Amino acid sequence: MATQVETKDTRALGQPFFAFWKLLAILCAVALAGVLLTHPRNAPREIPVSPTASSSESEASPPDVAVAMKMSRAFSKVFKTVDPCVVSVIGESTFSSSTSRRGQKITEQGRRSLGSGIVIREDGVILTNNHVVEGSKNLTVVLSDGRRLRATLLGNDPYTDVAALRVSAHGLQVAKLGDSDNVEVGEWVLSIGNPFNLSHTLTIGVVGGKGRSNLDVAEYEDFIQTDAAINPGNSGGALINLHGEVVGMNTAMGSQEGEYRGVGFAIPINMARRIAEDLISRGRVVRGDAGLSFQDMDEALMRAFKMEVSAGALVSDVERGGPADRAGVRPYDVISSFEGKEVTSRAWLTNRIATARPGQEAEIGVVRNGEAFSLRLIIGQAPDQVTAKPPSSDVDSFGLDVEDLSPDVARSMGYEGEHGVLVTDVEPGSAAADAGFQWGDLIVEVNQRALRSQMDYKRILERAQEGDLIVFRIRRGEARVVLAAQMP
Question: Burial of 389 by CB count in 10 Å (0-12 exposed, 13-18 middle, 19+ buried)?
Answer: exposed
Instruction: In whole angstroms, give the CA distance from residue 127 to residue 115.
Output: 11
Point out which residues pair with 317 in neighbouring strands: 293
Catalytic choice (100, 136, 157, 161): 161
Instruction: In whole angstroms, give the CA distance from residue 110 to residue 127.
Output: 24
Cβ pair 203, 229 in contact under 8 A: yes
Fold match flag (82-167 vs 288-381) = no
Instruction: In whole angstroms, give the CA distance from residue 230 to residue 253.
Output: 6
Specify the pLDDT at position 21.
55
Type of residue at 384: D
Residues with pLDDT less than 50, the chain:
1-15, 17, 35-37, 40-58, 60, 94-111, 385-393
- Per domain, the residue ranges of the chain are 82-167, 180-281, 288-381, 400-486
How many residues in the chain? 488
Rounded (10°) CA dihedral 423, 429, 432, 436:
90
Find the radius of gyration of the CA atoms of the chain. 36
Type of residue at 349: L
In 3D space, the residue among 322, 275, 314 whose CA is nearest the CA of residue 295 turns out to be: 314
Specify the pLDDT at position 57.
45
Instruction: In whole angstroms, give the CA distance from residue 171 to residue 436.
Output: 55
Q: Is the alpha carbon torsion for 427, 431, 437, 442 positive or negative? A: negative
With residue 371 as reference, give the H or E element that holds it.
strand 371-378
Active site residue 131: yes
May I ask the CATH class of domain 400-486? mainly beta
Domain 288-381 bears CATH identifier 3.40.640.10 = no
Given the candidates 1.20.1250.20, 2.40.370.10, 2.40.50.140, 2.40.10.10, the CATH classification of the domain at 180-281 is 2.40.10.10
pTM of the model: 0.63
Question: Which CATH topology does 82-167 take?
Answer: Thrombin, subunit H (2.40.10)
Instruction: In whole angstroms, give the CA distance from residue 178 to residue 183.
Output: 9
Type of residue at 92: E
Catalytic choice (116, 235, 336, 430): 235
pLDDT tens digits, residue range 199-244?
889 999 999 999 888 888 888 888 999 998 888 889 999 999 999 9
Active site residue 64: no
Instruction: In whole angstroms, give the CA distance from residue 295 to residue 346.
Output: 5
Specify the pLDDT at position 29.
55
pLDDT tens digits, residue range 355-407?
999 999 999 999 998 899 999 999 999 875 443 333 344 677 778 888 888 88
CB-based contacts of 173: which residues, under 8 Å, 6+ apart? Answer: 84, 85, 119, 122, 144
Q: Where are the beta strands (DSSP E) in 134-245?
A: 136-142, 148-157, 162-167, 188-193, 201-212, 223-226, 238-240
CB-based contacts of 251: which residues, under 8 Å, 6+ apart? Answer: 129, 161, 217, 223, 230, 235, 236, 265, 266, 267
Catalytic choice (93, 113, 116, 131): 131
Instruction: In whole angstroms, give the CA distance from residue 20 to residue 29.
Output: 15
Question: Burial of 447 by CB count in 10 Å (0-12 exposed, 13-18 middle, 19+ buried)?
Answer: middle
